[in-house]
Amino acid sequence: MRIGWLGGIVASLLTLAATAERNDVKDDARFKQDRFALIVYNDMPAEGTIEERYREIADANFTVVLVSGDEATMRKKMDVCQKLGMAAITLQLDETPANYMEHPACWGYGVRDEPGVKDFPDLAPIIDEIHAKRPGRLGLINLFPSYAAPWAQLGAETYEEYVRLFMEQVDVDVLSMDHYPRFRPGEPDTRDAYCADLDVMRRHSLKKGIPFWNCFNVMPYGPHTDPTEAQMRWQMHASVAYGARGLIYFCYVTPNGRGPGGIFEFPKGGAVITAEGLRTRHYEQGKRLNRALKNLGPTLMKLTSTKVIRITPDDEPKEKLAGTPLVDLLREGYDPRYDVLVGVFKHEDDRRAVFLMNYHFAYTQWPTVVFDVPAGEVVEVSQETGGEVPLLDDSPELDGMQLSLDAGQGRLFLLPAKE
């Protein structure tokens, strides 16, 4: 329902007043993220003990678990998280903040999944109460993607308006959404829409000075095919290019149930772990992908996004890259034109950073990169160790600096501060 102009003015004034009051929240009452978040959603299969199953999660390089169950079960899970060096977010969706659990491993509480604009006034006081009664804890609210129905689900005409209204009305410490791009052959490619949503998250999180997370798909369900490792990596690394500081796996354990209308949405057992407790191929795939991002994590947590550039095969790279640390992408005559995503960042020590990602999820790319400083002044953050290593030429017999990018892969480079 649309309100009249007078009602709109009143609503705006009330929003401004509420925002001013929330801005008085003391800094130590707000959640502060201390590591890159690689997050398990749907945590326990039908078989196994908490200790063995959570050790399996930690061994796959996850850093955070959304824990579910009754209070005693969640407390046991958080005890194990603390033992294994993981953080926990409890799912207490029907509770009030006064009843939210406290524990050294607890980052906070899952409050709501996919609210519409009509729900925002009810969510705002919950987050305010968490700040007051559970200082330093997170109230996690996960938003719809842009392909949700504008008025029936979002409650707004555009996705931009939906997220803007949320940020104006609800004082969260982390912005989060889910979006599952389609990779089904013969159907429209929806990856650009995924990136558009990431850009909305990026801009609004930067404006408020909070991190953003996003939930991505790792299993076959409904209209979605089972992603390959490269398609998983593409989703994860695209999020990093836009500055995400957390990634939520949908799902870790395969859901066992029917969706709306009795449709069996998850018939193939294809998440990281089956409902019966068996590892799928996504376990080792996720372990590898998580390890790389876990190693990049300490550096990623020190970066602030300044720009994201998509270079399509129809673009001239030098024109699109003007004003960034990456000056040009050259190619041999037999190479196809490049299709890449470039995230540009500023390090907290004033150095500059570039995350160069292969936009293809089925093909490698070998760009010849030109930075605005000599190659000897550029370092790469190693996905094997997390350390800074000299930039190496992947094809030293060719002219220029050659970089190899696997399908959907991004690589992170640091450059000196600009004088």
Domain presence at residue 296? yes
Residues 6+ apart with CB under 8 A from 40: 57, 62, 64, 65, 66, 249, 252
What dihedral do alpha carbons 127, 133, 137, 141 form, nearest 10°? -20
Residue 37 to residue 216: CA distance in whole angstroms: 13
Which residues on neighbouring strands pair with residue 381, listed in sequence order?
388
Looking at the fold, whether 172 and 235 belong to one and the same domain comes out as yes
Domain end among 301, 335, 350: 301
Contact 377/415 with Cβ under 8 angstroms?
A: yes
Q: Phi-psi bin for 399: left (phi > 0), alpha (psi -120 to 50), beta?
A: beta
> Six-digit token pair at 344?
């540009």
Please give the structure tokens belonging to residue 267: 């018939």
Together in a domain, 336 and 208: no
341 part of a folded domain: yes
**Same-domain check for residues 295 and 316:** no
Asked if 222 and 184 count as a contact pair (C-beta separation under 8 A), the reply is no
Q: Is residue 2 part of a domain?
A: no
Tokens of 26: 């003391």
Domain match, 266 and 312 both: no
Q: Compute the distance between CA of residue 315 and CA of residue 134 in angstroms, rounded to an integer.
A: 50
Instruction: Print the domain residue range for 183.
Output: 17-301
CB atoms closer than 10 angstroms to residue 68: 17
Q: How far apart are CA 33 and CA 142, in angstroms?
A: 17
CA quadruple 90, 244, 212, 303: dihedral sign:
positive
Residue whose tokens read 């870790």: 252
One-character DSSP codes across 203-229: HHHHHHT--EEEEEE-S-BTTBPPPPH
Asked if the structure places residue 368 within a domain, the reply is: yes
The residue type of 310 is R
Look at residue 26 in the predicted model and tell me its pLDDT.
84
What is the 3-state composition of the chain as percent helix, strand, coil, each rounded to the nearest 5? 35, 25, 45
Beta bridge mates, 158: none
Asked, for residue 4, whether it belongs to a domain, the answer is no
If asked whether residues 215 and 335 sit together in one domain, one would say no
What is the edge-to-edge ordering of all strands in the sheet holding 368-371? 326-330, 368-371, 401-402
Model pTM score? 0.93
Q: Same domain for 274 and 155?
A: yes
- Kindly report whether the peptide bond that precedes residue 81 is cis, defined as omega within 30 degrees of 0: no
391 and 282 in one domain? no
Task: Determine the longest span between alpha carbons in the chain, in angstroms.
Answer: 70
DSSP letter at 390?
A: E
> Following CA atoms 345, 108, 257, 43 in sequence, which dihedral angle do they give, to the nearest 10 degrees?
80
Distance CA 226, CA 219 (A): 5
- Residue 206's H or E segment, with its range, is helix 191-208
Look at residues 301, 318, 352 and tell me which one is the last residue of a structural domain: 301
335 close to 363: Cβ distance less than 8 angstroms? no
CA distance linking residue 411 with residue 359, whole number of Å: 12
Q: Within this chain, do residues 246 and 312 fall inside the same structural domain, yes or no?
A: no
Give which of 350, 406, 398, 344 is closest to 371, Cα–Cα: 344
d(CA 409, CA 404): 9
Tens digit of each residue's pLDDT, the chain (419 residues):
333 333 344 344 445 445 545 557 888 899 999 999 999 999 998 888 999 999 999 999 999 999 999 999 999 999 999 999 999 999 987 788 888 999 999 999 999 999 999 999 999 999 999 999 999 999 999 999 999 999 999 999 999 999 999 999 999 999 999 999 999 888 888 999 999 999 999 999 999 999 999 999 999 988 889 999 999 999 999 999 999 999 999 999 998 766 555 556 676 668 999 988 999 999 999 999 999 999 999 999 999 999 999 999 999 999 999 999 999 999 877 788 899 999 999 999 999 999 999 999 999 999 999 999 999 999 999 999 999 999 999 999 888 999 999 999 999 999 999 87
Q: Do 115 and 158 fall into the same domain?
A: yes
Is residue 153 situated within a structural domain? Answer: yes
Judge if 267 and 322 occupy the same domain. Answer: no
Give the Cα separation of 282 and 202 in Å (integer).
Answer: 28
pLDDT of 269 reads 67
**Inter-residue contact 74 to 101 (CB < 8 Å):** yes
Q: Which of 113, 198, 208, 213 is nearest to 169 (CA)?
A: 208
Which domain-ending residue is among 301, 317, 333?
301
Q: Which CATH number is 345's domain given?
A: 2.60.40
When divided into structural domains, the chain yields a total of 2
Asked whether residue 219 is domain-assigned, the answer is yes
Does one domain contain both 276 and 324?
A: no
Is residue 323 one of the residues assigned to a domain? yes
CATH code for position 69 = 3.20.20.80
161 in the same domain as 99: yes
